[in-house]
Amino acid sequence: MIVGGGISGLFITYELAKRGVKDVTVIEQSYLGSGASFRNVGCFRASFTSEEHVVLMRKSIELWLRYREELGIELEQSGYLWIARKHETVESFRKLSMFHNSLGVPTRVLSADEVLEIQPGINKNLVAGGLFDPVAGRMPILKNIVKLYLRVKNLGVKFLFYTKALRLKTSDYKVHAVETSQGVIEGDVFIIAAGGRGSRELLSTVGVKVPIIDETRYAVISEPYARFIRTAIIIDWDTPGAPYVTQTDHGGIIFARNIPEEPEAPITSHKMDSLGLLVKPLIELIPVLKHVNLVRSWIGYYDTTPDHHPIYGPVKPYENLFIAAGFSGHGVMMAPITGTVIADWVLNGKPSISIAEKLMLERFEKGQLIKELAVVG
Ligand X SMILES: Cc1cc2nc3c(=O)[nH]c(=O)nc-3n(C[C@H](O)[C@H](O)[C@H](O)COP(=O)(O)OP(=O)(O)OC[C@H]3O[C@@H](n4cnc5c(N)ncnc54)[C@H](O)[C@@H]3O)c2cc1C
Please give the residue ranges that form the binding site for ligand X (CB under 6 A).
3-9, 27-30, 34-37, 39-44, 164-165, 193-195, 198, 202, 217, 219, 256, 300-302, 325, 327, 329-333
Q: Are 190 and 320 in contact (CB under 8 A)?
A: yes
Least spacing, CB of residue 1 vs ligand X, in Å: 11
d(CA 146, CA 30): 16
Cβ pair 169, 175 in contact under 8 A? yes
Give me the least distance between CB of 145 and ligand X, in Å please.
9
Q: How far is the CB of 88 from ligand X (least distance, A)?
A: 27
Which CB, 30 or 368, lies closer to ligand X?
A: 30
Q: Identify how many contiguous H helices and E strands the chain contains and give both numbers.
A: 9, 19
Q: What is the pairing mode between strands 321-325 and 190-192? A: parallel
Other beta carbons within 10 angstroms of residue 98's beta carbon come to 11
Look at the alpha carbons of 261, 85, 94, 134 in this order and tell me if their dihedral is positive or negative: positive
Give the three-class secondary structure for 43: strand
Which uninterrupted H or E stretch holds 69? Answer: helix 51-71
Pick 131 or 259: Cβ nearer ligand X: 259
**Smallest distance from ligand X to CB 250, Å:** 16
Q: How far is the CB of 193 from ligand X (least distance, A)?
A: 5
Q: Report, in Å, the least distance between residue 209 CB and ligand X.
A: 17
Kindly tell me which of 90 and 152 has the beta carbon lying closer to ligand X.
152
What type of residue is 163?
T
Q: Name residues whose C-beta falls within 8 Å of residue 148's C-beta, 6 or more positions apart in sequence.
A: 7, 10, 11, 14, 71, 73
Helix (H, G, I), strand (E, B) or coil at 143: helix
Q: Which is nearer to ligand X, 35 or 314 (CB)?
A: 35
Residue 92: strand, helix, or coil: helix
Give 128 or 214: the residue with its C-beta nearer to ligand X.
Answer: 214
Q: To the nearest whole angstrom, how small is the minimum distance from the Cβ of residue 127 to ligand X?
A: 23
Integer Cα distance of 114 and 129 in angstroms? 8
For ligand X, give the closer residue by CB, 132 or 159: 159
User: Alpha-carbon distance 371 to 359, whole Å?
Assistant: 12
CB of 238 to ligand X, least distance (A): 20
> Between residues 303 and 344, which has the closer beta carbon with respect to ligand X?
303
Q: Which amino acid, residue 236?
A: D
- Using the minimum distance from each CB to ligand X, give the nearer residue, 29 or 248: 29
